[in-house]
Chain A
């Protein structure tokens, strides 16, 4: 089994390096094929490991030592247990699909090879992240995915910076930097969490740390939990570190699907799930509650912004954000396995949604404004189908135990909120379910139904290549059927994760709750149908209203950040350099030099060259000596 672990882990790396060899040469389809194959191999290995874990149990391998200093010993160790194998399978599966998809999507890009190199490198990093058996190993992957995300968001680096009005993300390279830096802010929190654990436990191995938790004081537990969650907030784009995620849509769409929907952004949730022994501690219950509350807030917050957005990919990005909020809500409330389940299910339908959006974009020559689309279902039947399915899954449509993937996972989360007597959260989550359905179908209807507004642009849309559509089918299928494996999945992961049981009461009224949620969801869809099925009718008055503008400008948060952080930081930096460094610190140093020189110039004037003056100085010096002698005498008397 050990070899399988290594195959699963290193196959993507091999692919990445292989593609990197051709990184600077012209498009070579081989790279696409080889990397896709290697990712598929990795998927197969992961799947075998999955069954192995299910039947036999976890696999733990230790490759070699990494850092050894003082009492610190960090190995490269890999742990394949229920949590990680779930993640591995999901990651490699989605990755495989995305890789194959990219072969078609990136067809005309001159940096085809480079793209695959980055993409596979990302998969490798993600695998390290989920498979590592210690926190620092996780951090490797954590940073690795960050860099790959940076590379991939900025993939079209040659694009110019434009103003925020023209493109809210300014440029790919700008968005990439924003993502990286925001993640770094959170990473510092993560690092501090690691320090806290190291100095209080003496190790960073998961098993050792979790075993030692009961011995730690409350303060330390809280500090560690908070610090680690700050790390999670960055990677999972939770408020207030969320702005990078929508800007990250500047990257190629497969990237958005893989990294910014299915895998990387869920790493934060993964961390909380992985560290569930910590977050389940009694001492940190309010931290967990805060996580849940924040998650709920982000769910509705992101959903509200999605309501008015016109950018196909950004809508999906907001919805990702919103769904991440759901996951955190579940994890924060202690329903870790439900969070993990939603994570997996979400990965499937969200990736599908994104890839579908990619098809649309491909067809529309890169146009993303849904106001300029419409009626595409005629030419893009399959894509319409996929996106419809994904949207239904996202909206959580289903009834009485039959439904799309989202129905099972999201409903469960809402139920948990009710079960924990956090009725405020529950209310918000239910409301958000309605919003989710509305914006999902607003997008679907505006894109695929109604009048064909794209004619104005002179575009002739066409369906994506066949093999790409075939490649998407596993995701579509999973988006439909994944929910049915809920109980099986629960059984599988609760061997490791704490079980979560609904109370008697909740269980009793579960069907009412479910009905309520479905009512909201269906309500949202119906509303969207009424408003947008016939085509686009712009409501100028609404668009000028304060709320609409607030939402479409993302609550003015990016501008707020720019005005209160980026610009002041730049100004302060210039001040530090121009004024403090040059005019104070350096000027002081030079000032000392100048002072000495000026004194020298002044003193030099006494050297007049006139002998008479010299003689006077000599006699004067004698007097001076007398004076000094007197002082020195007094001094020495004083000393006695």
Chain B
């Protein structure tokens, strides 16, 4: 007979589960409300979602650092807290973008399921980042991904379904690779707990060539899965198409949150190897990162559509982040979060600006919704919008003093530090490649600025703010203010991130 399982509630440490629980309960609540009355307006759900996210943020913020819970499956370390906070904040900015000018225009928001799915997705990402168990990572990943596919498909304009199916199919393949990678690791160590895997690998001695083959195999397979999610070359193929097919806010959201979640996972998995001084892994990541940022930059250069351009640019930003990830220093890891925090405000802002110019039926031309021409002479049509969009673009390009400049600065600084500390010239070369890529990137961001400020306006001038509404203005205004005033909060933010990251040993 099996002994009855007795688990004390205390040992479960359910508080570590609370953030995800809040999101899930919130999602269920929305579904339940819908059951009772299905004629409620989307504003209710938007506000409700925001409130739930708000509580979630509070719960996450009040987590004790470095505690495990729920059969040691959950890990509330600094990494998980900081990434969850960024994810939740991004979500908080994302949700009110549903409040577009006309109620009926984008009908996905009319469904309460949309918000429920959204919250499920958030919970999935939260799971992903707050565990070091491969099973739970996988479950979280799939929960989030499946919700995300649905959310994309719900957009239901032209391209949305194509985008969803592309994302979905590639995601399924990536999941296969992730699992096969897990198999390799599991076969090698007999564990799916990352901290144990680390211990075992350490004790086995990483330099043994016999281990090397399966280990590298696992790394490669994992990297494919990570590469898919954070869109590294050549696993990025879905990115531009999916961004183009989904709504602008969703595209902006996708360029931050899923990537950040996966970056945290990558940090946890590859961190093991990097800590073991298996340089091959660092090189592998750096090589792929450099290829990614360079090629995607070049492709972004020749795009005709702003949204696609931003898609490619987000690929390039991912390459940036991965390069820092390969270093494994506290500063590099902190810089990744600083980078994403800064990237979040700017990028969401930029996509939100695209969002206000999107129209459900009236497309700009056969192929594109947001070609550069659309923004021609925006300065004379709606100067404020042009200035704000210009600031977002300059921030993305890394022009000081806007927010992403600080992220870039700190990130490149971490690479340079590593180069000096290790006295390795190749890392200096890496840093230079990174800044050169920034320079290339500046070109296509500038291109939009040039169109907005320096070209003659189009004949029909309403096209650039079809979707404008007060809530959207507020969100964009807040994001713009946050982007502009970054210089004043970089210090506390950096302090906070560094504290969290270093306290969890990364």
Please report A residues at the B interface, Cβ cutoff 8 Å: 593, 596-597, 599-601, 603-604, 606-607, 609, 611, 613-615, 617-622, 624-626, 628-633, 635-636, 639
Contacts and interface: CB of A to CB of B under 8 A. Distances in A.
A625 B223 contact: yes
Nearest to B285: A632
Interface in B277-294: 278-281, 283-284, 287-288
Given A603-B295, A615-B173, A636-B279, A597 B301 contact: yes
A600 B300 contact: yes
B111 interface: no
Contacts of A636: 278-280, 283
Contacts of B233: 621
A625 B217 CA distance: 10
B440 A618 contact: no
A615 B240 contact: no
Interface string B148-189: 000000000000000001100110011001000000000000
A619 B240 CA distance: 19
B288 A614 contact: no
B280 A632 contact: yes
Nearest to B241: A609
Contacts of B278: 636
A604 B219 CA distance: 28
Contact of B280 (A596, A609, A633): A633
Contacts of A633: 212, 216, 280
Interface string B214-231: 001101110110011000
B235 interface: yes
B227 A621 contact: yes
A604 B221 contact: no
B299 A632 contact: no
B170 A618 contact: yes
Contact of B166 (A599, A614, A628): A614
Contacts of A620: 234
B284 A603 contact: no
Contacts of B295: 603
A628 B221 contact: no
Given A622-B220, A625-B220, A639-B279, A611 B169 contact: yes
24 contacts: A597-B298, A597-B301, A600-B298, A600-B299, A600-B301, A603-B295, A603-B298, A604-B299, A604-B302, A607-B240, A611-B166, A615-B173, A617-B235, A618-B234, A624-B234, A626-B216, A628-B283, A629-B220, A629-B280, A630-B216, A635-B279, A636-B278, A636-B279, A636-B280
B301 A596 contact: yes
Most buried by A among B177, B227, B284, B443: B284
Nearest to B227: A621
Contacts of A613: 237
Given A632-B280, A633-B216, A621 B302 contact: no
B238 interface: yes
Contacts of A618: 170, 173-174, 224, 228, 234-235, 237
Contacts of B227: 621, 625
A185 B173 CA distance: 77
A606 B235 CA distance: 12
A632 B287 contact: yes
Nearest to B283: A632
B302 A601 contact: yes
Which of A593, A603, A625, A628: most chain B CB closer than 10 A? A625
Contacts of B300: 600
B219 A629 contact: yes
Contacts of B219: 629
B440 A596 contact: yes
A320 B223 CA distance: 90
A614 B220 contact: no
Interface size class of B (residues with CB under 8 A): 35 or more
A437 B68 CA distance: 117
A621 B234 contact: yes
A300 B417 CA distance: 76
Nearest to A639: B279
Given A617-B237, A633-B212, A599 B223 contact: no
Contact of B170 (A607, A615, A639): A615
Contacts of B288: 625, 628
A626 B440 contact: no
A615 B221 CA distance: 15
Contact of B238 (A603, A614, A639): A614
Given A617-B237, A625-B224, A628-B284, A597 B212 contact: no
Contacts of B212: 633
A613 to B, nearest CB: 8
A615 B301 contact: no
Contact of A597 (B165, B228, B283, B302): B302
A597 B297 CA distance: 10
A636 B279 CA distance: 6
Interface in B218-260: 219-221, 223-224, 227-228, 233-235, 237-238, 240-241
Interface in B257-282: 278-281
Contacts of A614: 166, 170, 237-238
Given A628-B287, A639-B279, A596 B224 contact: no
A582 B105 CA distance: 53
A614 to B, nearest CB: 4
A604, A606, A611, A629 pick with most chain B CB within 10 angstroms: A629
Contacts of A593: 443
The 7 closest A-B pairs by CB, nearest first: A600-B298, A636-B279, A632-B283, A614-B237, A621-B234, A633-B280, A600-B302
Contacts of B166: 611, 614
Contact of B224 (A609, A622, A639): A622
A622 B221 contact: yes
Contacts of A619: 173
B234 A632 contact: no
A501 B29 CA distance: 123
A621 B292 CA distance: 12
Contacts of B241: 607, 609
B126 to A, nearest CB: 27
Contacts of B440: 596
A615 B216 contact: no
A626 B222 CA distance: 12
A537 to B, nearest CB: 77
Contacts of A639: 279
Contacts of B287: 628, 632
A173 B231 CA distance: 69
A630 B298 CA distance: 27
Contacts of B224: 618, 621-622, 625
Contacts of A606: 234, 237
A593 B170 CA distance: 33
A596 B177 CA distance: 33
B188 to A, nearest CB: 15
Nearest to A611: B166
Nearest to B286: A632
Contacts of A597: 298, 301-302
A174 B219 CA distance: 78
Interface string B361-402: 000000000000000000000000000000000000000000
B298 A596 contact: yes
Contacts of A631: 283
Interface string B416-445: 000000000000000000000000100100
A603 B233 CA distance: 11
A370 B228 CA distance: 96
B309 to A, nearest CB: 11
Contacts of A628: 283-284, 287-288
A635 B177 contact: no
A618 B288 CA distance: 13
Nearest to A630: B216
A626 B234 contact: no
Nearest to A623: B220
Contacts of A617: 234-235, 237
A625 B299 contact: no
Nearest to A608: B237
